[in-house]
Every structure is written in C-alpha cells, then in structure tokens.
Chains A and B, each alone.
Chain A
Amino acid sequence: EIVLTQSPGTLSLSPGERATLSCRASQSVSSSYLAWYQQKPGQAPRLLIYGASSRATGIPDRFSGSGSGTDFTLTISRLEPEDFAVYYCQQYESSPLYSFGQGTKLEIK
C-alpha cells in the first residue's frame, strides 16, 4: 500500500508570501497520477493540479506543481486571502488505487 505523507502539517504565512507544500510517497508514483486539491471549511475539495504539474481549468497561475518519483511539491507563488485552506495530495495507480495525503493546513500568520 502506498502512503502519502504531507509536510508541514500546518503552515503559517502572510498574504503575499510564497507557500511551499510537500508530498512524499512511500514508493515511487507515476507523475502522471499525482494530483493536488484545495479544501475550504464546509466545502468539497477542489482540483488544483493533475499530472503533478498541470493546472485544472480555472486555477490561477500562482498555483504550480512539480516533482517526480517520491517527492512532489505544490507552490503558491503569492498568497491571496482566499488561498488559506487545507491542501491534499492524491495518487492514483497503486493499491488502494487512490490514496490521499493527510493534508497541510495553510493558515494566516
């Protein structure tokens, strides 16, 4: 079973700063099948990045994804107030076919 570990658990930053979120897999993940989601309180997750680095429709270009193998990164270049939320990485491929990281909470400093 593949396990995704996200770090840090909580990230405290100010609007305008750069955020770097990490997702590490317990075994190699095909880059094609690594995605990132944003979730705000009381809402369903929203797809941000698929294929490790492709932005989903309507996602601002301040969001970018990178990485390969076991290490992946979500970067938000300049934080806007609406970016403070919980972020999840997700892999599709290895049993249990889909799995998610435990999440990184991005909070306002």
Chain B
Amino acid sequence: QVQLQESGPGLVKPSQTLSLTCTVSGGSISSGGCSWSWIRQHPEKGLEWIGYIYYSGSTYYNPSLKSRVTISVDTSKNQFSLKLSSVTAADTAVYYCARGSAMLKDAFDIWGQGTMVTVPS
C-alpha cells in the first residue's frame, strides 16, 4: 500500500529556509485524483494545512503562509517537497505530508509519520 515518509533537517536557524521532502512508496505520485499536501502541527496544538500540489505541478497554498511557501514535485523520484522561507520560532512544529483522495472527497487518507522541525528563538 502507499506510504509516505518525510525527511529533512530537524533544526533550522531563524530567517533561513525550511526544506522538507516527502517520498511516496508503494504507488505513483502521478496517480490521478490525488493531491499531495503538507500539514503542520504546533506543539500541543491543532492542525494547520500548508498547501498542496498535483503531479502536474499545479499548487494551492494557505493564504496565511502563501508568501513564504513553495511546494514542488519530482515525479521521477516519486517525491514532493516543501520550502518555507524566513522561518521564526513560530514555525516550530511537526510537519506531515499527506495524500488527498478525490475518491474520498479530498480527505487525507494517507499520512507520513511526521517530522519535528525546531526553529530556536
């Protein structure tokens, strides 16, 4: 079955760019009807959707983060990536990648295990 795995640095300095990659295994990122999202969860807080990408490269971002976010896809590697610029301590969170399925009304049916990213204050 399809699995997702996040990877990237666990510590990012303030003002730098956070970069994470999600590797899709057990299936193709080019599957129709699927979007590929990044979602984060601040410590002891709720969930915040960051944005998504389709295999075609089209993207949609949360307006609250849009000016700092870039999501890209590499179909040859079956991966998609997140870049978040000008980070501050407020960007400290667990970052998840997830699949949105059109068959399930675009709900997130598969999630990565999450990766903790810390931005020191």
A contact residues vs B (CB 8 Å cutoff): 32-33, 35, 37, 43-47, 50-51, 54, 56-57, 88, 90, 92, 95-103
Q: Which residues of B contact A (CB under 8 A)?
A: 37, 46-49, 52, 60, 62-64, 96, 98, 100, 104-109, 111-114
Residues B49 and A99 in contact, CB atoms below 8 Å apart: yes
Contact B106 A96 (CB under 8 A): no
A95-B63 CB under 8 A given contacts A35-B107, A44-B112, A51-B105: yes
Contacts of A102 in B (CB 8 A): 46
B113 touches A45 (CB 8 A): no
User: In the complex the two chains form, is A45's CB within 8 Å of B48's CB?
Assistant: no
Q: Is A96 touching B105 in the complex (CB atoms < 8 A)?
A: no
**A33 contacts B105, C-beta separation under 8 Å:** yes
Pairwise interchain contact A90-B46, C-beta atoms closer than 8 A: no
Contact across chains for A47 and B64 when beta carbons are under 8 A apart: no
Contacts of B105 in A (CB 8 A): 32-33, 35, 50-51, 54, 92
Given contacts A88-B46, A100-B49, contact A47 B60 (CB under 8 A): no
Nearest CB in chain A: distance from B40 CB, A: 11
* Chain B residues within an 8 Å CB radius of A46: 111
Given the known interface contacts A44-B96, A51-B104, A56-B104, the answer about A98 and B109 at a Cβ–Cβ threshold of 8 Å is no
Complex Cα distance, B114 from A46, in Å, reads: 13
- A98 close to B104 (CB less than 8 A): no
- In the complex the two chains form, is B60's CB within 8 Å of A97's CB? yes
In the bound assembly, the distance between CA atoms of A92 and B109 in angstroms comes to 13
A33 to B100, CA, bound (A): 12
The residue in chain B whose Cβ has the minimal distance to the Cβ of A102 is B46
Cβ contacts under 8 Å, B104 to chain A: 35, 47, 50-51, 54, 56
Q: Is the CB of A100 within 8 A of B112?
A: no
Shortest distance in angstroms between A103's beta carbon and chain B's nearest beta carbon? 5
CB closest residue in chain A, given B37: A98
Q: Report Cα–Cα, A43/B47, bound state, in Å.
A: 13
A99 to B106, alpha carbons, bound, how many Å?
12
Q: How far is A64 from B107 in the complex, measured between Cα atoms in Å? A: 16
Give the CA-CA distance A91 to B37 in the complex, in Å: 14
